[in-house]
Amino acid sequence: MPKLERIIESALYVDDLDRARKFYREILQLETILDADPLCAFDIGGDNVLLLFRRGGSLEPKVLPGPGLPSGEIPSHDGSGRLHVCFAVSEDELDVWEAHLSAHDIPIEGRTSWARGGRSIYFRDPDEHLLELMTPGNWPSY
């Protein structure tokens, strides 16, 4: 059986792409690597990509043009509800992140100390998605 190696992209669906883009750029300080309505893509640590799609903006398949550009078809997709994404942070930066979020009036909704030794804090983006910052020590892989 072939094995999966890792997750490359994760997607969140947002009601206001401009508002979400601003939050992820300014508050989470993520670097934009693609900005083309109905989506905005952010680099996560040089290893992963977070995609923000305007809700309803990807309901139709996307045909890519080909010669000299990507080619093929991306099937339709969309999502609703309050989703969850967890970002890795170092142990010595978790408290700095908490102070940064507080300075931007973003409330911490929860804190967890994991049995293996990691810690997490939880907060919401403007679309009510639950975001988590986790230090090493929770999962066998992190």
Full pLDDT tens readout for the chain, 142 residues = 999 898 999 999 999 999 999 999 999 999 999 998 899 999 999 999 999 999 999 999 998 887 877 888 999 999 999 999 999 999 999 999 999 999 999 999 999 999 999 999 999 999 999 999 999 999 998 9
Give 1-80's CATH code, choosing from 3.30.960.10, 3.10.180.10, 3.30.499.10, 3.40.50.620.
3.10.180.10
CB 50 within 8 A of CB 39: no
> CB-based contacts of 47: which residues, under 8 Å, 6+ apart?
6
Instruction: Look at residue 26 and give its three-state secondary structure.
Output: helix
Residues carrying CATH 3.10.180.10, the chain:
1-80, 81-142
Parallel, antiparallel, or unpaired for β 48-54 and 9-14? parallel
CATH tag, 81-142: 3.10.180.10
- Tokens 């929770």, residue located: 138
Please choose, from the candidates 83, 71, 66, the residue with its C-alpha nearest in 3D space to the C-alpha of residue 10: 83
CB 120 within 8 A of CB 133: yes
Q: Which pTM does this prediction carry?
A: 0.92
| Positive/negative CA dihedral, 61, 43, 9, 79 | negative
Per-residue model confidence (pLDDT) at position 68: 78
Per-residue model confidence (pLDDT) at position 122: 98
Residue 114 vs residues 7, 54, 137, 141: alpha-carbon distances, Å: 23, 34, 7, 14
Per-residue model confidence (pLDDT) at position 89: 97
Per-residue model confidence (pLDDT) at position 34: 93
Per-residue model confidence (pLDDT) at position 117: 92
